[in-house]
């Protein structure tokens, strides 16, 4: 009886230690062989990087030349008014025809402005955003002063898209990655709306849009 139990204990210890070794033994070790890939499907295939040579084609180029007469469609961003806020190099004074001045546009502009612009320019646009409590190095413009009120919509669009340099330093970063073209126009419209909240009469007199 005693003998049997000892055998049992020996067996359990043996199996236990082998399992432990198996589970922990190879962790973190490096192997030059690829991992086991049970169902390869078509996960790994030969392919060429752009500009890479290839012996498959007679001209040894991996990239195929465009078919003669190919014309780019839709990606040219040729609509300067919409994409650059300019026409013939001059800042536009109106919204592009793709953008309709609606309540929804202003609501979207407000939401985006409050996320991306308010930290510096403040929710009211007075240039007293929360960053100014922490750093004197950043002096966001007061969007209600005469100069900023006189900026045409195209100029505000351009500022959002390209930011502004002060000498070699970035005074205001570009928001082109955060704001799509449409969103930039929505913010432009909202900035104009913010400005109108403080100077409604003056704006009406000037017939400002």
Q: What residue ranges bind ligand HEC (CB under 6 A)?
A: 116-117, 119-121, 138-141, 143, 147-148, 151, 156, 159-160, 164, 166, 171-173, 175, 187, 191
| Least distance in angstroms from the C-beta of 120 to ligand HEC | 3
Q: Which is nearer to ligand HEC, 4 or 147 (CB)?
A: 147
How many CB atoms sit inside 10 A of residue 148's CB? 18
Residue 82 or 186: which CB sits closer to ligand HEC? 186
Nearest approach in angstroms of CB 167 to ligand HEC is 10
Smallest distance from the beta carbon of 104 to ligand HEC, in angstroms?
19
CA–CA distance from 90 to each of 76, 79, 110, 152, 162 (Å)? 20, 14, 26, 10, 16
The CA distance from 201 to 206, in Å, is 9
Q: Specify which residues 90 forms β-bridges with.
A: 87
Q: Which is nearer to ligand HEC, 64 or 168 (CB)?
A: 168
Nearest to 149 by CA among 112, 181, 197: 197
Contact status, residue 172 vs residue 163, Cβ threshold 8 Å? yes
Specify the residue, 82 or 183, whose C-beta has the smaller distance to ligand HEC: 183
């Amino acid at each position: 009886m005693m003998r049997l139990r000892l055998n049992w204990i020996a067996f359990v210890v043996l199996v236990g230690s082998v399992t432990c070794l198996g589970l922990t033994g190879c962790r973190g070790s490096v192997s030059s062989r690829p991992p086991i890939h049970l169902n390869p499907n078509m996960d790994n295939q030969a392919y060429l990087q752009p500009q890479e040579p290839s012996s498959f084609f007679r001209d040894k180029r991996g990239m195929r030349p465009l078919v003669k007469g190919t014309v780019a469609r839709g990606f040219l961003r040729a609509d300067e008014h919409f994409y650059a806020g300019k026409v013939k190099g001059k800042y536009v004074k109106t919204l592009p025809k793709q953008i309709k001045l609606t309540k929804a546009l202003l609501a979207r502009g407000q939401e985006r402005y409050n996320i991306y612009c308010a930290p510096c320019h403040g929710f009211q646009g007075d240039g007293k955003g929360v960053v100014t409590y922490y750093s004197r190095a950043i002096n966001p413009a007061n969007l209600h002063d005469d100069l900023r009120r006189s900026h045409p919509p195209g100029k505000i669009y351009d500022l959002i898209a390209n930011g502004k340099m002060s000498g070699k330093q970035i005074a205001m970063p570009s928001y082109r990655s955060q704001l799509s073209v449409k969103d930039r126009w929505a913010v432009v419209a909202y900035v104009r709306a913010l400005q109108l909240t403080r100077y409604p009469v003056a704006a009406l007199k000037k017939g400002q849009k």
